[in-house]
Chain A
């Protein structure tokens, strides 16, 4: 079956839905999602969205710009960061007008709280910049945008999994989807395709990411000849609930919580004397793991304590209800009285599909535009987060660049007619599926996935070195061979999740290789990428973005310069 739409958006998280809302009344828009839209992972964002509204205390977008650039360890493109932080207040008011139920100040304005790395006056002390709705900000924003889509009757293809991007010559002209409910393939032809498919945290064993975060869109682009930018930068959030890795929002520290080691010591005072527990995430995660390595984890084990016991029940109930409930459910303890065991957990990929500031996908280091293809949100790399993203800047990124992609797509489609797509692309995908169903493979999807996840924790997480990375790449390549021998047990059509998991596994394997490969070649330490064998930042050699291309011989690496406008790189101290 072939269906035409002006715009096809893949992914129904905040970036995808924001883009959809932008286009819906002026174009025929369809949103494809492998889960039901409100199950998208944006909903798991807790702490807030940053904007220099100044509702609680003085703040300026210039400060926000500086903090984001410094947070990125000077790898963020400053022109893009400036667009984002200047647009932030408008984006927040727009969301509020759509109905997002933000928490409020006594004067009835949107309430704001502290968050890691966000400071007043260029790093002097923490500033209240994160606009929040208790600790469910992502969820209520997702619900509100979904509700707006219902209001404007956006067409949804829920529980449809994109198997491939379709090209008409060099122009992206649609996607092939697999309907999870029926097992049928569907070619959705489009004048513009937006990838808003989120991150790939599920490559790692310990992660805050949902099961759906397998990097599908990132890898679909890579397979189609688009390079991937800065994939070595994987953020580990300092406070994942031990041992599950479930996110415990930085809001807990923003509201006054702090970390303690086995000796009861507030160890962040040693690592970040100025802002302590509110340093950037890469800094705090490394500090926690250093404490653990030195035997100062609780009971000598792999976690430290996040102490909220001094905040009082009322504040925890009012502002941190969700995380308090996670702690009660999964650990059986009460954060009002007991410190919370936490460990760093894989949270976010700073890298992704290279785009310009309007979501247009870039095909090379010269900035050649891929016609018809757009990307926004975590799967994209604009780059506003550089080597390390600051907390609450992700929702901002989704909304600012989701909207801008929407605007750019509306403009782009006015000059384009639908081409004549044949059923060939559908057939190619059909063949691929048939093959999977016919292989009598011995290898199990679950086993290979588990091996990737353990391997990536060991060789490609917070601390890295050449030997480990090389070994990691070798092992991934050997797993790729095993992957060729997976086969289907489930041959039925309705809700056959096995097929989707097999495709996801292919994405995970290939992205693991790109991450390790990018990390191996960056012989310095910057932001979330820390090399034990090259522990300092080397601006002279590596103040540049990595681009990895897929070639028949394996990944190939090139670089492109960082855009620096206002702030020259300085030592990064918190």
Chain B
């Protein structure tokens, strides 16, 4: 089938304003949108820039706004679109070139929640024990691939006045460690999250949950963090 991709183009080095360019390609209905972008890049216009790596929704490179909704280009098939698809970079972040955005601030926020297991007791000779039930609590959270679709879709992050909010992706990782039975720093974690721009930045607007390519119940997990903060008071 013939498909048109209307693609956001911008080179801040040379251009003052972004433009939109429409490409037409013959695609198989089962092709991924990423395949279409690659064919444009390889066959029609090598100057089109976008990130990609694994091509099947594991690495998290190709998050972008597709017909207004953030998602992974490698997870969307041509057959699910009518003839024209609008492709734009993730909102919230600064555009570096075309569909490539600066994720520096995203990873700074991620780093700010101390995303690593913190223990005070020395480990046993073998594994630290954890029951399947304890593991299950955070199992959905470990699906996160840091694609940034949730944070880019969050109206709080999109709002200039509240853009300091740490964002749903960082909170999912915070949840993962806070609710890991092996972690021994829950007091510090709770203090870190009990901030205006921490868990309380979330206004329960559900956009993150709607777009998550790995079907993580993001909003619910943030809710559980809030409850944990209350319980600790």
Contacts and interface: CB of A to CB of B under 8 A. Distances in A.
A41 B54 contact: yes
Contact of B11 (A92, A108, A494): A494
B54 A489 contact: no
B43 A212 contact: no
Contacts of B126: 53, 93, 109
B41 A497 contact: yes
Interface residues of A, number: 62
B96 A104 contact: no
B225 to A, nearest CB: 18
B61 A246 contact: no
B145 to A, nearest CB: 7
A133 B176 CA distance: 14
A330 B54 contact: no
Interface in B5-53: 11-14, 30, 32, 41-43, 45-47, 49, 51-53
A318 B130 CA distance: 17
Interface string A295-330: 000000000000000000000000001100110011
Contact of A44 (B51, B54, B127, B132): B54
B85 interface: no
A330 B56 contact: yes
B138 A210 contact: no
A110 interface: yes
Interface residues of B, number: 60
Interface in A24-69: 35-36, 38-41, 43-44, 53
Contacts of B13: 492-494
A106 B61 CA distance: 36
Given A150-B116, A495-B98, A497-B49, A39 B54 contact: yes
Contacts of A102: 127, 135
Nearest to B117: A99
Nearest to B102: A181
Contacts of B146: 38, 143
A92 B114 CA distance: 23
Contacts of B180: 99, 101
Interface in B88-142: 96-98, 100, 103, 111, 114-117, 119, 123, 125-132, 134-135, 138-139, 142
A430 interface: no
A210 B206 CA distance: 32
Contact of A151 (B43, B100, B116): B116
Contacts of B226: none
Contact of A321 (B32, B135, B143): B143
Given A98-B117, A107-B129, A494-B13, 16 more contacts: A44-B59, A96-B127, A97-B128, A101-B135, A101-B142, A103-B132, A103-B135, A139-B58, A143-B146, A181-B96, A246-B56, A325-B57, A325-B215, A330-B30, A445-B46, A496-B47
Which 3 A-B pairs give the minimum distances between C-beta atoms? A99-B117, A446-B42, A108-B129
12 contacts: A39-B61, A40-B59, A93-B123, A144-B117, A322-B58, A325-B215, A326-B56, A444-B42, A444-B43, A492-B47, A494-B97, A495-B49
